[in-house]
Structures are given as C-alpha cells and as structure tokens.
Amino acid sequence: RIAPNRPSPFREGEIMRVVLTGASGQLGAYLLDRLAEEDHEVIAWSGSSTGGRGSIPFSTVDLADPAALQSALEAARPRAILHAAAISRADVVLREPDRAARINVEATRILAHWCAKHSARLIYTSSDLVFSGSRPWWREDDPTEPVMRYGVTKRGAEPFVTGCPEGLVVGLSLMYGSSRAGQPTCHDLILEALSRGRPQSLFTDEFRTPLPYAAAADALVRLLDSSFRGVVHLGGSERLSRYQMTLRA
C-alpha cells in the first residue's frame, strides 16, 4: 500500500522542526539520538517523564487530552511529526480500553488532521500485530485482522495517517536491543532472570522478524524526507521465535 512515487516536498538534508512523540520510550530514546545526528530541531514529547536526553528536554504532553494536544501542536508548529507514542502493553490496553483508544487512535487522528491542514510530514509507527498471525509472511496490501486489542487500536489509527497527504504508516516488527530509556526492555528482563538462574517460559511456536531498535530508528529518520506515503513494513531479515532470539543473546 504505497502511493505512487513522486518528488518529496522535503529536501534531502533539510533541517526540520520535528515533533517526536513517545520520546521517553525505548524506541524514542534511539530516535532522539538518531535525530540529533541529523541536526534537526527536535521537540520531544513525553506523556509523563520529565528531564530529557542529552541536550533535548522533554515536554510533557497528555495525548489523551485533545485540547492539550491541539495546544501543543499550535505551539510547536512542526514541519514533521514522528509519532512513536502508544499504550503498547497488551495488559494495559485490556485494563484501560478507553484511555488506550484516546491515545492510540484519537490522538493519531488529531495529529493526522493537523498535518494535513499544515502540509506537514507524518510518520506513524504501527505494528505487525495488526495481522492475525495465521500465516508466515504479510505484505503491505494484505488485509489486516488483529486478534489482540492492542493491534485493533493500531489498525484503527492507520486510515487517518494514510488519508494524510504526507502520511506514512510504518509497520514495525518486534524490536530488541539494550535500553537507552532508563528502564529495562522485556528482552533485558528475560536475560537478567536467566543470568540469576530463574527459568523463563518462551514461545517456540510464535515467530516474528525481530528488528534492532537502532535499525528501526535509522530507517524511520531516513523516511522523514522520503517520498513514501501509504504503508510500508519494516522488519528484520530472519524469522525467529522468542526462544530462538534468547538463545542467540
């Protein structure tokens, strides 16, 4: 689901004012480091974390509050938005469905509307969990059939982004790597438990195409000034279970 190629309105190497949502998350930390390499003017939004990373401070923006989100957009006036924020823990999405819908779906709608109105670029991080997992590989033009509530919310937001003239949905696979966000990743916790002799139960019959955080961040930043619109998938080169991933760590 990629729109016909056309010249990008964003010049290669252009220094842009970029809003990064989810800046205090695991992927957000890698994105901040990568954006800093490009000398972009970065406005880092976090739902609750204060402080910052390097020389970039966090701005607290509650994506569940439409008025606060609109106000933050008007204050920032970005040339591009890298939207990496979401409630991604499956248990939290089930426990707080209304809040998950406000953040994962409604906030994305507001961002897409603002970008369409102001001719701004929007890169939205979606998930391979918009698919059912009933077969080995999925293409961008395959129908989405999420079975998890989290996947339902991510799928619900995608049409707002694809309806934005400069919108791009990037479907990400399972990501891994050392934490730069100050809290351990799931992979970190598994490895720590094993190092302490505590057995772990890991899937052997669920397969993903795992992608390093650093590679995901690099690709997302490169896509900012690309001409791609619509939907692209971004995953690693190998099909692995979590058990296989852990054996390699």
CA distance 227 to 224: 9
**Tokens of residue 197, six digits:** 């002799």
**Over 90: is that where the pLDDT of 11 sits?**
no
* pLDDT higher at 49 or 67: 67
Mean pLDDT over the full length of the chain: 90
At residue 9, the pLDDT reads 60
- Name the amino acid, one letter, at 6: R
pLDDT digits (tens, 9 = 90+) for 119-158: 999 999 999 999 888 777 788 988 888 989 999 999 999 9
pTM surpassing 0.85? Answer: yes
**CA nearest 169: which of 179, 160, 177, 161?**
161
**Over 90: is that where the pLDDT of 43 sits?**
yes
- Name the amino acid, one letter, at 143: P
At residue 214, the pLDDT reads 96
**CA nearest 161: which of 3, 13, 47, 23?**
3
**Over 60: is that where the pLDDT of 4 sits?**
no
CA distance 98 to 82: 23
At residue 219, the pLDDT reads 96
